[in-house]
């Protein structure tokens, strides 16, 4: 099967390309090779490359010739620095997705795997001992300044117990990036209904592994820790380090994409389905920094008490739906994956908001 991978020269996209080729498929890469993302690095692998922005409709139409399915990974990723990033995020993520879907409809390509994100949920699941499952609002700057990082029950103020979030949780995007990722899902669902297509969004949790970009505020926290250790510096852990996340290895994410591609022909026409894609084993940010420091033989992490507005306290996945319906299982354990990541090369520095890929 010929599969178009947008952003296929990027971190996650390149691993998907490798997995597709290993499985006997023919990947085609559409990637702008933006200098802020690639710093002159060539795309990995032997896949045919169409060097273009996903918003270039003519180039996208050409890349879709003979294609049976699309893995849409191209996006501007991360929280960014401030709201001034909003036009570029919306342009890359939402306009780019709309152009791609329009070209797919014209070309008759009816299968889509979207790189979704857990950020669409906002905060994760919380349970109050009095009120059951509740949804706390955004944390207040005054509380964060005072070092009160945990979310409290909006009804009674009691401490909350975090738990895994499932796909039926209400969406609550709390920054521009999150809003664009939710909009991508809405566009994909509308496209599927209008064209009879089949679309799946894999809501990635914290993806890490070989080839992550380094030294950028747009990268994942694991990459920032790894970059600091490579410089001989202690990883700087925000808040108190107790934030819970789900770190999933990039090869497991690539395998999830292949599992969805295999299942899409059997999905109902006009359907859209979301799947959490995580390891299922929550870790704190502090634990992750410490594990990487041990693996690198570097200095111990420093907990700074700093915070970023728009960050959520706890968000961990229940990936049971993906496991049950498609038979996918994460194969790379946390310690094993972090040890590999500690030794793996990273991409060259990125100095500004970057289109992924």
**C-alpha to C-alpha distance for 214 and 51, rounded to whole angstroms:** 23
Q: Using an 8 Å Cβ cutoff, are 33 and 51 in contact?
A: yes
Which among 41, 48, 55 is positioned nearest to 10, based on CA atoms? Answer: 41
**C-alpha to C-alpha distance for 50 and 13, rounded to whole angstroms:** 14
Which among 92, 53, 55, 58 is positioned nearest to 75, based on CA atoms? Answer: 92
Sign of the torsion angle spanned by Cα atoms 33, 357, 286, 137? positive
Q: How many CA atoms lie within 13 A of 30 on its CB side?
A: 29
What amino acid positions are annotated as catalytic residues? Answer: 177
Beta bridge partners of 116: 203
What single DSSP character describes residue 85? G
**C-alpha to C-alpha distance for 256 and 261, rounded to whole angstroms:** 9
């Amino acid at each position: 099967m010929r599969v178009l991978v947008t952003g296929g020269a990027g971190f996650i996209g390149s691993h998907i390309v490798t997995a597709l080729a290993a499985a006997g498929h023919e990947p085609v890469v559409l990637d702008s090779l933006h200098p802020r993302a690639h710093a002159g690095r060539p795309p990995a692998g032997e896949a045919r490359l169409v060097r273009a922005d996903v918003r270039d409709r003519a180039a996208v139409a050409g890349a879709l010739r003979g294609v049976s399915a699309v893995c849409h990974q191209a996006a501007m990723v991360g929280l960014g620095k401030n709201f001034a990033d909003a036009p570029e995020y919306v342009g890359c993520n939402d306009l780019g997705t709309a152009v791609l879907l329009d070209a797919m409809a014209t070309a008759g390509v009816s299968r889509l795997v979207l790189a979704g994100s857990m950020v669409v949920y906002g905060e994760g699941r919380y349970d109050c001992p009095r009120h059951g499952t509740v949804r706390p609002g955004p944390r207040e700057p005054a509380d964060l300044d005072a070092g009160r990082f945990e979310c409290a029950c909006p009804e009674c103020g009691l401490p909350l117990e975090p738990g895994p979030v499932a796909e039926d949780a209400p969406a609550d995007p709390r920054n521009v990036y999150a809003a664009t990722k939710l909009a991508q899902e809405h566009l994909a669902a509308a496209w599927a209904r209008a064209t009879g297509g089949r679309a799946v969004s894999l809501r990635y949790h914290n993806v890490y592994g070989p080839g992550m970009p380094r030294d950028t505020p747009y990268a994942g926290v694991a990459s920032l820790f790894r970059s600091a250790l490579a410089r001989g510096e202690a990883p700087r852990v925000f808040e108190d380090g107790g934030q819970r996340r789900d770190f999933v290895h990039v090869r497991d994410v690539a395998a999830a994409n292949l599992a969805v591609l295999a299942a899409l022909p059997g999905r109902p026409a006009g359907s859209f389905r979301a799947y959490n894609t995580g390891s299922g084993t929550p870790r704190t940010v502090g634990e992750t920094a410490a594990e990487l420091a041990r693996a690198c033989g570097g200095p111990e992490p420093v907990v700074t008490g700093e915070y970023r507005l728009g960050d959520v306290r706890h968000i961990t996945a229940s990936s049971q739906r993906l496991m049950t319906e498609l038979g996918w299982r994460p194969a790379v354990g946390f310690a094993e994956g972090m040890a590999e990541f500690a030794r793996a090369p990273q991409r060259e520095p990125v100095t500004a908001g970057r289109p992924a890929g």
